[in-house]
Amino acid sequence: MRPLEGKVAIVTGGSRGIGRAIALELARQGCKVAVNYRANAAAAEEVVERIAREGGEARAICADVSLMAEAERLVEETLSAFGTVDILVNNAGITRDALLLRMSEADWDAVLDTNLKGAFACIKAVQRVFLKKRAGRIINIGSVVGLAGNAGQANYAAAKAGLVGLTKAVAKELGARNITVNLVAPGFIQTEMTAKLADELVQQALARIPLGRLGRVEDVAAAVAFLASDAAQYITGQVLCVDGGLAL
């Protein structure tokens, strides 16, 4: 029997990159998966089809999680499709990089709304299900940037740092109901975004990583699957860096 057999997971921003890898891994572990997306329906459906080909079950659900009503609808549609929710992975995120001198208010708001408020909205929407069941797993996807900062990413760093505080506060609020809340903080991970970076920047990053390689999306997905499993039932309020030692 697979470790997460019969569980239902919501993965926000699950159509590409790290979110896609998480959705696929949770499905392989036995989860039925709600693959949330905001704009790229084709990519989300590809994830659903891939899960189906591998013998799993998934549903693509469009929702802008930065809006409370949309987050609530995401949970309702998941309940309608699968009957319950056991795991919430708050992965949806965007970047609007610029030095603070040039960063617009709109770019600040967009990143905070999606990356931080989106997690708040989804937790708030799903918590009544978890409270009633007296069980649940909430896994927030942060970043080492939220721990160490990064020039040109004040909005992104602030949002990811805010996720650390949100994780710890909600872990304390919900722990008595057997609901765990943890955060996975990826480092430099190979994605479509990093593939566009100049080789010089990649080499600079590699020089700072003790393990000497970039991370894979599967590395992050494996950490999420662990935190979603019974093996992690006594772990809550923690930050797990998946970064090859970058944050040391």
Which residues are tagged catalytic?
156
Rounded to the nearest 10 degrees, what angle do helices 105-112 and 154-174 cross at?
Answer: 30
Task: Give the C-alpha separation, 223 to 243, whole Å.
Answer: 11
Q: Which residues sit opposite 11 in a β-bridge?
A: 35, 89
Helix (H) or strand (E) holding 124: helix 118-133
Task: Give the C-alpha separation, 157 to 150, whole Å.
Answer: 7
Task: Give the C-alpha separation, 201 to 61, whole Å.
Answer: 36
Q: Is 73 exposed, middle or buried (0-12, 13-18, 19+ CB in 10 A)?
A: middle
